[in-house]
Structures are given as structure tokens and as C-alpha cells.
Chains A and B, each alone.
Chain A
Amino acid sequence: MQSHMKQNLWGYLFIGPFIIGFLAFTIIPIISSLYFSFTSYDLFSPPRWIGLDNFTKMFTEDPRYLHSLKITFIYVFAGVPLRLAFALIVAMLLNTASRAVGLYRTMYYLPSLIGGSVAVAIMWRQIFGDDGIVNLALGVLGVDPVRWFGNPTAALWMLIFLSIWQFGSSMLIFLAGLKSIPLSYYEAASVDGASFFQKFFKITLPMLSPVILFNAIMQTIGAFMTFVPAFIISKGTGGPLDGTLLYSLYLFKQGFEFFHMGYASAMAWVMLIIIAILTSVIFLSSRFWVHYESEGGR
């Protein structure tokens, strides 16, 4: 009994910092945030209870919010699948015995390494400028220059391209996954006369599916929270015509530019709910496409 107590004591001594931090920086803020979401609060006078007004306003009276939600969905659902597709294709190309693979791996990873920085966002802003190198390259291909900052859709795609450009970290994870697939599977398939596509769909994809699931979830959450590129590329405005007003940026502006703390808290809660639903949907769908070795195939 005594040693039991002692064990518990040691355990809580070690994880104590986590529990304290969790209470102070996560749980108390989460509960306060929930409370603020039902109030009107500008930081200077005390919060005033307004019930569900913030939430109804969001969906009925604030077209800017709905627009921001829409473009964030486009950003997430165009960016993440394309990013994962690029990651998988390049990982498969690099899964060979060539000596240059180490160098290529580094080169493809570098955009991920620096992609979250302000420097890269500044760079992106400049290369998509009217006389930037992207338009120069389009000119060489005979395509008319695009006014990336003159058109909200083009501006959003500029952000999506930046997200896809950083496929390197997923590529590394996929590459590690590919290397763990036993070669004998492919050899057996070759003996049976399987084509490249049959091998890809019957061996590679199923074996890699748990890793793809994990990546799809983490990248979706991450993409939903994208802030820095939208903030820098639009110089904090979300423009042109709110074309880059991603959810996090709009939330930030509501909170710290307009001091609508209650409204911003409500936005954060809707974001949490959307992310929870998205992750659950991906999880539930995984029953149909994720293959777990240890559980006899499912």
C-alpha cells in the first residue's frame, strides 16, 4: 500500500508540470473562451451576456464570415489533397537505390523547412507580383500574365500553391513508410504478373494507408489554422477583396483589430467544432480505406 502511494506520488511529480500547464494554459482558457463566445466583450468593459447572438450573427448577418469560411474550405480541400498527392508521387520516385536520393530528399524537404517563415511569405509575395518571376515564366510558356493581387481567386490560389510547395515533410514520412513495405510483396506480385498500377493499388496504397490517414488528419488541422502566409501576403488585410481572408486571419482581425473578443471566441469555437467534425469524418471513413496489418487486414 505504502509503495503504491509512493508510486503515485512519483508519477504525479513527473507529469505535474503538464497537469499544471494544462489547467492554466488550456482548460481555464477553453472554459473562458466558451463563456466569452456568448458575450459581447471589447476587453475594456466587462463582458455582457448576449446568448447565441454571436453565432446567429456569424451565419446570418456577416457575409465576410461566410466568405472567409468558404475560402478556408477551398484552401484546405484543394491544398491538402494536392500536397499529399505530390508527397506520395515524389516519395515513390525517390524510393530507389540511386545514390543521388539523399540529395534529392534534402532538396524536396527544404521548402517545408522554411515554408512557415515570414521570409518565404515575403518571397512568395514578390514572385507572384505583376512583374514577378511567375508571370515571367508564364510569359515564356505563352500564357498571359495573371494579376495575382488583382483578383481574389488568383490570390487564394497563390496561397494554395504555397501550401502545396511545402509537401516535403509528408514526403519524408511517406518515404519512411514505403521503405518499411517488404520487397517480397512486390516480388510475389511481379511473379503473378501484376502491373505497376495493380501493385500500386493493391500493395503500396493499402500498406501506406495508416500513414496517409495520420497525415491527412494532421495536415487538415494545420491547414485550417494557416495564418502567417495570409497575414504577410495580404499585409494583414486579407485582400484583395478578402480573397486571402483565411479563417485564422479573420478571427485575429475580429479579436485584435476590432476588439470583438466575444465574436472572435465564438469563431474559435465554431472552428473547433468544424475541425472535430472533419477529423471524425476522416476517422470514420478510414474504416473503408485504411488497412491495418496487425488486425488481419482491417
Chain B
Amino acid sequence: MKPKHLKKIIYHLLVGGFAILLLYPVIWLIMSSFKLSENIFVTAQSLIPNPFVLENYAQGWEGFGDYGFATFIKNTAIFVAFVLVGHLISCSLIAFGFARLKFVGRSFWFAIMIKTLMLPYEVVMIPQYIIFAELGWLNSLKPLVVPAYFGHPFFIFLLVQFIRTIPRELDEAATIDGCNTFQIYYRIILPLIVPALATTAIFTFYWTWDNLLGPVLYLNSPAKYTVSMALNMFLSNETVSNWGAMFAMSTVSLIPVFVIFFIFQRYVVEGISTSGLKG
């Protein structure tokens, strides 16, 4: 064999092999969800479920108490939808203001916004909790979704960067044609920033879907639980050691994440590469 080919084979064995090694736990989780609960750790060394069963899914889907897993998925979907709409509207408006309008104090507020990027949530967590408690918003989605309607620094920054790449001549031409500022935002800029809005939507989905701390703080009746909280409950009820159901529902919780990723891969990869969004 030519040395060049050998080099190539070694490269693929190394890089591909390491990738499979990293993903092995995930594959193991998924395959184990099709094993009988009592077999999962006895046959941990094997990936092939024998026998192949779906009962973990049936059991997990029943949820716990009076609430099935479908309820938790529905709750999470509503949560995500409200945050998504909030981020898309507020972040695009705010980003347009920062990127295109000249006004007194713009650089001041922009600097403030960038600073809030680095602010640990822990610092505002307790007072926010007290404020929302005073408002009587505990055990509702409001504390989790209302802030989304006031922008999110990461996405504002992402959109500002994107809007800055759009030629200003477009705005000027629209002004000559009689558009006011809002029409420029709505008719000119908004259609052109769809790719960046897609990135915003995708990452909003991921972060909201995975959010555990927020729901743990604010939701306390099982009827309102999100998927993350439900999985946490499975773990707390682990005494019965029903691994199978827990693995099955963990797998279910990952499906939307994978599906969105494979459909919109381009936006995800570009979003991370260009803005440094953490995935």
C-alpha cells in the first residue's frame, strides 16, 4: 500500500474512532432503553438489546401520579413557544435600534447590554424570585417567559452583528420611497435577517428545552412540570430502580434536540462559528 493511503486510513481510524468513543455513552443510553430494566446493568457490556422490548417507553410514557409524559412535553412546548416568540420580536426590534438608529446614549446602552452578557444569573436569581413571588406569579410560567419579551443579550448581539453587514443604501432608498423607521425595520431589515433569526430561534429552543433551574425554582405542581423536571423526578423516585423507563424518557427528551439539529444544522454551525454562542 502506498504510504499516502496508509496515512489516510490511520487518520480516519483515529479521528473516527475517537468520535465514536465520545458518542458511545449516548448510543449506550439509547440502546439500553430497549432492554428489560433488570438486564440493563447485567448486560451493560453489550449494545444489542436481547430481548428487544418497548415496555420501558410504555411505562415511562405513563409518567407519575396523575400526569403522563405527554403532559410534560406539552408544558415544555408551550414554555418554548412563548419564549421563542418573545425573543424573536424583542431581540429583532432592539438589535435594529442598536445597529441602525443614531440616538443619544446608544453606545452607553450597548456597552451595558454587553456587560449583562457576563452577569451570572445567580446574582439576580433571589431578588427576581422575591419580585415574582410578590407579583403572585409563582407556580406559573410567567416568571420564565415574561423576561423573554425584553430581549436577550446574546441574541441581540448576534442580530446586531448581522444587521451591520446589510448595506445602509437599502435603508436610504426606502427612506426616499417614503418609508418611516418602523417600515424600514419591518419591510427591509426583517426579511433580510431571517438566517440570524433562525439561529436565534434554534438556540432559544435548545436553552429553553434544557432549562432546569428556572422550572425547578418556579413550578411546583406536577401538572405544570417540564420534561427536564419530569426526568429529575424519575431520578428522585429511583428507589424502584426502574432504569428502563428513565432511559426511555431521557431518549425521548433528546429526540427534538436531534431532529432540530439535523434539519437546521447549517444555522447551528454558523451561529456558533460566527458568534461564539455556546451550544
Contacts and interface: CB of A to CB of B under 8 A. Distances in A.
Contacts, number: 260
A8 B103 contact: yes
A125 B131 CA distance: 35
Contacts of A104: 15-16, 19
A104 B17 CA distance: 10
Nearest to A166: B279
B39 interface: no
A28 B127 contact: yes
Interface stretch (A61-69, A150-158, A193-201, A221-229): A221-229
Given A118-B231, A133-B45, A169-B279, A105 B269 contact: yes
Interface string B1-34: 0000000100110111011101111101100000
B72 to A, nearest CB: 12
B276 interface: yes
Given A29-B131, A275-B120, 16 more contacts: A17-B94, A18-B150, A18-B156, A26-B124, A90-B15, A93-B15, A98-B11, A100-B15, A107-B22, A113-B268, A122-B247, A227-B212, A232-B232, A235-B238, A255-B125, A272-B123
Interface of A: 7-8, 10-15, 17-22, 24-26, 28-30, 32-33, 36, 43, 90, 93-94, 96, 98, 100, 104-120, 122-127, 129, 131-133, 136, 165-166, 168-169, 172-173, 175-176, 211, 214-215, 217-219, 221-222, 224-225, 227-228, 231-232, 235-236, 248, 251-252, 255-256, 261, 264-265, 267-269, 271-272, 275, 279
Interface of B: 8, 11-12, 14-16, 18-20, 22-26, 28-29, 41, 44-45, 90, 93-94, 96-98, 101-104, 106, 109, 112-113, 116, 118-131, 133, 147, 149-151, 156, 181, 185, 206-207, 209-210, 212-213, 217, 227-228, 231-232, 234-236, 238, 243, 246-247, 250-251, 253-254, 257-258, 261, 265, 268-269, 272-274, 276-279
